[in-house]
Amino acid sequence: MTGSGFSTRESDQITLAVPHGTASRRTLWGRDELLDELLAAVRNEGHKQDAGAVHVVQGLGGVGKTSVAVSVAHRLQRETDQVWWIGAQDASRFTGGLTALARQLGVPDEEIAVGRLADQLWRRLSALEEPWLLVVDNADDARLLDGPGRLALGTGLVRPHRSPRGLVLVTSRDGQPGTWGDHAVLHRLTPLGDGDGADVLLDLAGPSAGSREEAAELARRLGGLPLALNTVGRYLAAVGQRPARFRDAGETATFAEFRASLDDGGAFPHPGTATALAGIWRMSLDLLTERGHRCVRPLLEVLANFADAPVPLILADPAVLGEDEAFEGVSGAEIWAALQALAGLGLVDLAAANGVDTVALHPLVRDAHRNPGWYTLNVRLLDKAAESDETGLPEDVERWPLWSALTPHAVHALTFEEGSDDDRVFPNIWTAAMLTARSLHAQGQLSQARKLLDELVPRLGGTLGETHSDTLTAHHNLAVVLHDQGHHDRARAIYEDILTTRRVTLGEHHPGTLTTHNNFASVLQDQGHHDQARAIYEDILTTQRDTLGEHHPSTLTTHHNLASVLDDQGQYDRARAIYEDILDIERDTLGEHHPSTLTTHLSLAVVLHHQGHHDLAAVEVAAVLSARRRVLGPEHPDTLSVQRWLDIISAARDKP
C-alpha cells in the first residue's frame, strides 16, 4: 500500500463512534449465547487457542449481524472507552476509518504516508493492555480487507493481534472459511426460532396485534429473519396506533392478517421491508457475479421456484440446466461453485438431510426470487431426476429418503398454475407425479398418495384421454390405494372400468390386463366373494405359467393370492404348501428381507396359526416383525399389520 489516500483533514472527519439507535436500547432476542462468547474474548475468559483471533459474525443479509456487533459494543462501552467502529462497505470508507484509528492511536503521519499503516496500527493495538474492541462492519467484499497483504494469511489490513484483552469483530455475509484463514473464528448467525421471533414481534407490536401463538406463526412465515421481524413489528405497531377509520384498504393490523397476506402471495404491506430485503440480496448477488459466478442469479431463481422445502441437489442437474439459454456453457463445476458461493453469503444452506444432499432457501429469499418463468425448467429437472438411476424404483426402501425429499417438489409442480403451459409442460411432470405417488404408497403414506393421484388422474384424462395407457395406469394406481384404505366398492368399480378397456385395447392375456384382473379378484376376495376370486386366480395363474413361467414375479403374486383365498376357505394344508414353495423361491431370488419375501413369510405364519400351531406361528411372526421394523420402520402400515397378527396369535396361544 503506497498511501492511505486520505489527507489529515479528511481522516479527521471520519467518525469511529458506535452507531446508536433502537438496536442498542431493545432486547436482542435469541443471541445471548453468542454475546456472552464474544464478551468473554475481551474479558480474557475465552478459549486460549482463540486469543487474538479475528471473530467473524457471518450470515444472510438481514439476519442481524450488525445488531449483534452494536450490542457487544454498547455493553463494552460501560467498561472501556476504547471501542471503535469502522464501516467496510467500500474501500474509501474502510481505509479512511483505519487511517483515523491509526492517528488516534498515535501512528505518525509519515508512517502512514509510506504505506506502513497496517503494520503500525496492529502493533499498537497489540500493545494495548486495557480492554478494547474494533468492529469492522459490513465487510461483505472481504477483498477490501487484503490491502497489500492477504487477509487469509494474517497479513491483511485486518489481522490477528497479541493483546490479552482485545477483540476484532467483523460482520460479513461471506462465511467461506477460505476467505478468512485459520486465524479467524467464524460465528454463523442463523435466523431466530419461533419463540424468539414471537418475542421480537410482541416487543415491537404489542399484545393488541395478536396472541403469542399467532406471533410465533408469523415469525415462522418470516423465517425468523430479524430485519423482517423488526420491520413488520414496527409496521403493525404504527397501524395499530391509528383508529380503524384512518386505516387504508389492504393495511394489516394483526399478526394473523399479515401472515394471511403473505400466504396469499401478497407483497409486504410495508414497502420499506421488501425494498430493504431486495436491496440487500441484490447486492449479494452482484458481489458474487463480480467474483465470476456468472450463473448465481438464474440458479437462485430456479431453486426458489421449487416448493418451500429443502431441494435435493439431484434437482440441480448440470446437464438439464445446460439446456437452458441462461446456463449455456456453464459447467457442473461452476454450478457447484455457485452453490457454495450462495451458501457462503447465507442465501442458501447446503446440508444433508436423512442422507440426501440438499440446498435450502430462507422463506423470504425464496419469496423474493421466485419467478414463474422457470417453471418449464423446474419440471424438466424433476422429470430427469424421477427417472434417474439415482432415484431407482419408488418401492426400493433404500431410496425412500431421496423420494421423500423429491415429493414436495413434484406435488408443487403438479399443482402449479401460474406461468404453466399444460400442452408443453404437463407431459414432463406426470411421470414424476406417478412415481412419487408410488413411493408414497410404498412408504405407507396412503392419504398423501391418494391426494396426489386424485389430482393427477383427471388432468391426465383431460390431456390424453380416458383410455390412454398412462391415464389407465394412474387410475389403476388410485384403485390400489383406495383398496388398501378399505374403499372396496370404489376400487372395484375402477378396476372393472379399466379391465373392460384393457380387454378391448390390449387383449385378455396382456400382462396389464392380467394385473388389473388380479387386483379386481383381490377386491372380490376382501368383499367375501371367495369362490369367484379363486376362479379368477386359477385362470390367471394358468395363463401366466404358460406365458411368463413358474417363477416370474407376476406368477408368484397370483399364486400367493390363490393361497390366500384357499386360506380364507379353510384349505390350510394346500395354502401352506403353496406359501412354502413361494417362500423358498423368493428367498433364493429376492433375499430374506425383501418386502415380497416378508409378506409371504407372514402369510405362512398366519396359516400355521389357523392350523393350531400357535407357538411356531408366533416365532415366525416375531421374526417378520423384527425385519419390518428394521426395514420399514415401526409406524409403517405393514409393520403395524404384523404387530396386530402377533397380538392375535399370542392371545390364542395363551388361551387355556
pTM of the model: 0.73
Give 167's strand partners: 133
Residue 249's pLDDT band, with cuts at 50, 70 and 90, is low
Give mean pLDDT, residues 52-75.
Answer: 89
461, exposed or middle or buried, with CB in 10 Å at 0-12, 13-18, 19+?
middle
pLDDT of residue 240: 77
pLDDT of residue 595: 87
Percent helix, strand, coil in the chain (nearest 5)? 65, 5, 30
Give mean pLDDT, residues 164-187.
Answer: 90
Q: Given the DSSP bridges, would you call strands 83-87 and 311-312 parallel, antiparallel or unpaired? A: unpaired
pLDDT over 50 (residue 516)? yes
pLDDT of residue 95: 87
Over the chain, what is the mean pLDDT?
Answer: 86
pLDDT over 60 (residue 421)? no
pLDDT of residue 315: 95
pLDDT over 90 (residue 245)? no
pLDDT of residue 48: 60
pLDDT over 50 (residue 9)? no
pLDDT digits (tens, 9 = 90+) for 353-372: 788 999 988 877 887 888 88
Residue 26's pLDDT band, with cuts at 50, 70 and 90, is low
pLDDT of residue 40: 86
pLDDT digits (tens, 9 = 90+) for 566-610: 999 999 999 999 999 999 999 999 889 888 999 999 999 999 999
pLDDT over 80 (residue 265)? no
pLDDT of residue 428: 72
pLDDT digits (tens, 9 = 90+) for 366-403: 878 888 888 889 999 999 999 999 999 999 888 999 99
Q: What is the 3-state secondary structure (H, E, C) of 118-162?
A: HHHHHHHHHHCCCCEEEEEECCCCHHHHCCCCCHHHCCCCCCCCC
Task: At 454, list the grid cell.
Answer: 386424485
pLDDT of residue 418: 42
Give mean pLDDT, residues 326-338.
Answer: 91
Greater pLDDT, 191 or 245: 191
- DSSP state letter for 80: -
The CB-side HSE value for 627 (13 A sphere, CA atoms) comes to 17
The candidate with the shortest Cα–Cα distance to 420, out of 387, 384, 452, 459, is 459
Give mean pLDDT, residues 246-258.
Answer: 77
Exposure b/e, 294-322, CB count within 10 A at least 16 = b = bbbbbbbbbbbbbbbbbbbbbbbbeebbb
- What is the spatial distance between Cα 116 and Cα 105, in angstroms, rounded to a whole number? 14
- What is the spatial distance between Cα 387 and Cα 391, in angstroms, rounded to a whole number? 7
Cell 404491506 maps to which residue?
269
Residue 21's pLDDT band, with cuts at 50, 70 and 90, is low
pLDDT over 60 (residue 271)? no
pLDDT over 50 (residue 6)? no
pLDDT of residue 579: 93
Q: Torsions phi, psi of 436, nearest 5? A: -65, -40
Q: Give helix 530-547 / helix 553-568 axis angle, nearest 10°.
A: 160
pLDDT of residue 1: 35
Give mean pLDDT, residues 458-482.
Answer: 91
Q: What percent of the chain is modeled with pLDDT above 90?
A: 47
The candidate with the shortest Cα–Cα distance to 290, out of 143, 170, 177, is 143
- What is the spatial distance between Cα 374 and Cα 377, in angstroms, rounded to a whole number? 5
Give mean pLDDT, residues 292-302.
Answer: 91
- What is the spatial distance between Cα 124 and Cα 348, in angstroms, rounded to a whole number? 39
Residue 234's pLDDT band, with cuts at 50, 70 and 90, is confident
The amino acid present at 43, given as its one-letter code, is: R
pLDDT over 70 (residue 184)? yes
pLDDT of residue 276: 60
pLDDT of residue 382: 93
Number of C-beta neighbours around residue 155 at 10 A: 16
Task: At 212, list the grid cell.
Answer: 403469542
- What is the spatial distance between Cα 576 and Cα 276, in angstroms, rounded to a whole number? 72
pLDDT digits (tens, 9 = 90+) for 632-643: 889 888 899 999
pLDDT over 70 (residue 426)? no
Question: CB of 630 within 8 A of CB of 595?
Answer: no
**Residues whose CB falls within 8 Å of the CB of residue 307, separated by 6 or more in sequence, listed in order:** 408, 409, 411, 412
pLDDT of residue 346: 76
Give mean pLDDT, residues 299-309.
Answer: 92
Task: At 311, list the grid cell.
Answer: 431441494
Residue 3's pLDDT band, with cuts at 50, 70 and 90, is very low
Give mean pLDDT, residues 45-69.
Answer: 82
**Which of 11-25, 220-234, 433-447, 524-538 has the weakest average pLDDT?**
11-25
Greater pLDDT, 579 or 9: 579
Q: What percent of the chain is modeled with pLDDT above 70?
A: 90
pLDDT of residue 24: 46
pLDDT over 90 (residue 490)? yes
Question: Can you say how many angstroms the Cα of residue 294 is from the centroid of all Cα atoms in its chain?
Answer: 25
